[in-house]
Amino acid sequence: MITMDDIIREGHPTLRAVAKEVPIPPTAEDVELGKEMLQFLKNSQDPEKAEELQLRGGVGLAAPQLDVSKRIIAVHVPSVDPEKPESGISTVMYNPKVLSHSVQEACLGEGEGCLSVDREVPGYVVRAARITVSYFDAEGEKHKIRLKNYNAIVVQHEIDHINGIMFYDHIDEKNPLQLKDGVLVIE
């Protein structure tokens, strides 16, 4: 079971490496890793489990954060609106790829956090508001999905990790809280 001890922190070289594609269909080992990554996110969002295991809450995790330089990410974003179950996303993506993205940009109004960064880094992380992503699932089936707003932000943050990019690489040091016109602020 994954705990915070398994998560490497900024400064570890693996966080800056470009991760390798995995064979499709994924091996049993890569399927197991994906399942554990998703379970970690669920545990991290469960008050009892998070307390018991001292987990930081997260909605996304990338294999490089476990010192596994493979193109595997897990996302578990609870749907905020029970009437709209599709508003959340819960899946493991093998070899995810952004096929296209909107010109429209968006950012989280409160900035971004990362399980591999043990400090607050203030500033807007401006990303595409909508993306089309292709990925393979644990069975090796290819998917092509369109994401927007929070789900799109989270998946871009995790795909950054498999490319060795940290969220604060996107923050404008001179004006971290500066926002260009037209950038959608997601609260």
Ligand X SMILES: CNC(=O)c1cccc(C)c1Nc1nc(N2CCN(c3ccccc3Cl)CC2)nc(N2CSC[C@H]2C(=O)NC)n1
Told to check if 37 binds Ni ion by CB under 5 A, we report no
Q: Which of 51, 120, 169, 173 binds ligand X (CB under 6 A)?
A: 120
- For residues 57-96, which are near ligand X according to CB under 6 A? 57-60
Residue 157 annotated in ligand binding: yes
The closest alpha carbon to 138, from 94, 73, 74, 95, belongs to 94
Residue with tokens 């996110």: 41
Residue 112 contacts which entry, ligand X, Ni ion, none (Cβ below 5-8 A, type-dependent): ligand X
Count of Cβ atoms closer than 10 Å to residue 137 Cβ: 17
Residue 161 annotated in ligand binding: yes
The closest alpha carbon to 167, from 102, 79, 108, 104, belongs to 108
Told to check if 118 binds ligand X by CB under 6 A, we report no
Written as one letter, the residue type at 136 is: F
With contact defined as beta carbons under 8 Å apart, do 35 and 92 qualify?
Answer: yes
CB 116, min distance to Ni ion, A:
6
The closest alpha carbon to 2, from 92, 83, 84, belongs to 92
Q: Which of 114, 131, 152, 155 binds Ni ion (CB under 5 A)?
A: 114
The catalytic site residues sit at: 158
With contact defined as beta carbons under 8 Å apart, do 106 and 149 qualify?
Answer: yes
Give the x-and-dash track for 25-64 against ligand X (CB under 6 A). Answer: --------------------x-----------xxxx----
With contact defined as beta carbons under 8 Å apart, do 120 and 112 qualify?
Answer: no
Q: Which of 111, 134, 145, 164 binds ligand X (CB under 6 A)?
A: 111
- For residues 151-180, which are near ligand X according to CB under 6 A? 153-154, 157
Q: Which of 107, 114, 131, 147 binds ligand X (CB under 6 A)?
A: 114
CB 119, min distance to ligand X, A:
9
CA distance from start to end of the chain: 32
Instruction: Collapse the DSSP code of 29 into the 3-class scheme (helix H, G, I; strand E, B; otherwise coil) and give the result.
Output: helix
* Site for ligand X, rule CB under 6 A: 45, 57-60, 108, 110-115, 120, 153-154, 157
